[in-house]
Amino acid sequence: MALPSGVDSTEFLEKSGWFDIADETLACLLIMKPENGTWGSAEDELAYVDAAMGTLVSSGTYYSAFTYHYLVGYGDGAPCPAAVGRPEPPEDDQPGLCGCSGGCGL
């Protein structure tokens, strides 16, 4: 989940209901925040988002017991998950973009 620039993470996750969703569904939330407080372009952030998503796959270095992975971006963080969209994404690897106003990389 790519949070918008300038938000307090805990406050955002609480007000948006993500803490409740995680508690109810036992979901693991992987939170991404912009370096230096501001997101770059989707292309600029691709390596960061790819590295973060890499921690969710069972690769020998990391292990994930979760079957589904959802990508969500809010505000100016919305283009970041879109940049990860692969040419042949599995059904459970689709980005959700909230507050994206054009140029979302899709």
List, for residues 45-96, the tens digit of each pLDDT value.
888 888 887 777 666 665 566 666 677 888 888 777 666 654 444 444 444 4
User: What is the reported pLDDT for 5?
Assistant: 92
Quick one: which of 49, 54, 35, 39 has its CA closest to 83?
Answer: 49
User: What is the reported pLDDT for 99?
Assistant: 46
3-state secondary structure of 95: strand
Q: What is the mean pLDDT of the chain?
A: 74
- How is residue 36 annotated by DSSP? G
Under 8 Å CB-to-CB from 105, ≥6 apart: which residues? Answer: 42, 43, 79, 82, 83, 85
pTM to 2 decimal places: 0.69
User: What is the reported pLDDT for 104?
Assistant: 40
Contact 30, 1 (CB under 8 A): yes
CA 101 vs CA 68, 73, 97: distances in Å = 27, 12, 10
What percent of the chain shows pLDDT beyond 90? 20
12 — pLDDT class (breaks 50, 70, 90): very high
